[in-house]
Amino acid sequence: MINKIIIFVFFLSNVVSQKLPNHSEKILIKRNTISIDFDWRSNESGFYYQHYDFAKGIKLDNDWSASFSYRIIGKVQDGGLSWLENRPHISIKKTIPSEKIKWILKSKQEFRFRKEKDLIMRNRFHLMLKSNKQIVKIKPYVGNEFFYDLEKNKYNKNWLVLGFDLTSSNQYAPTVYYKFISDLIDGKWISTYTLVFKITI
């Protein structure tokens, strides 16, 4: 029964995504401390972005963990996909468990090697609250990610996330979330959104 619910929800999500121009599909493959992340994104103009991210995680004491990752990023230009950025990044994460809510704090340091552009370093701080209890077979969560450009010495991007995890099985763990995106452009905050469908295998 649960598997049928998960299949139905993802079928419904796929139908909804066709009606919403801004959407993203993600697949995360995890094997012990190794993970590979695939991400495809579309907007009003159609498919425009994809990345592959390879990561090695390390468990530390007292609910701390760290990871070392390497991401390659492609964007559609002149009708074709061009690989424009290589992005190694390191992160450290703290999980704070409680009876009803799990707190997750993560800091990520990115080194952005972009094609024909200067190296940019950026820090991302992520705060997330996840419910430990299921509500109609789902676990809701809310999170916010702050982007700080070290070159410009400025906080210039923000992601607010609202979503839920569906009941997972031994093979996969699906999640759906709405991401409200704000960018500081020419002194003004410009906002958009995307709907994300993710499955962890």
Per-residue pLDDT tens over the stretch 61-117: 999 999 999 999 999 998 899 999 999 999 999 999 998 999 999 999 999 999 989
Is 110 contained in some domain? yes
Could you give the CA distance from residue 66 to residue 193 in angstroms, rounded to a whole number? 29
pTM above 0.75, yes or no: yes
| Residue-level pLDDT at 1 | 46
Q: Token pair for residue 167?
A: 């009941």
State whether the Cα torsion 56-60-66-68 is positive or negative. Answer: negative
Is 108 contained in some domain? yes
Half-sphere exposure of 37 (CA within 13 A, CB side): 16
Is 31 contained in some domain? yes
Average pLDDT, the chain: 89
How many independent structural domains does the chain possess?
A: 1
Is 186 contained in some domain? no
Is 28 contained in some domain? yes
| Residue-level pLDDT at 134 | 85
Is 143 contained in some domain? no
Is 16 contained in some domain? no
Instruction: Name the band, by pLDDT with cuts 50, 70 and 90, for residue 3.
Output: low
Q: Write out the residue range of the structural domain in which residue 41 sits.
A: 22-124
Is 171 contained in some domain? no
pLDDT digits (tens, 9 = 90+) for 140-195: 999 999 999 999 999 999 999 999 998 666 667 889 999 999 999 999 999 999 99
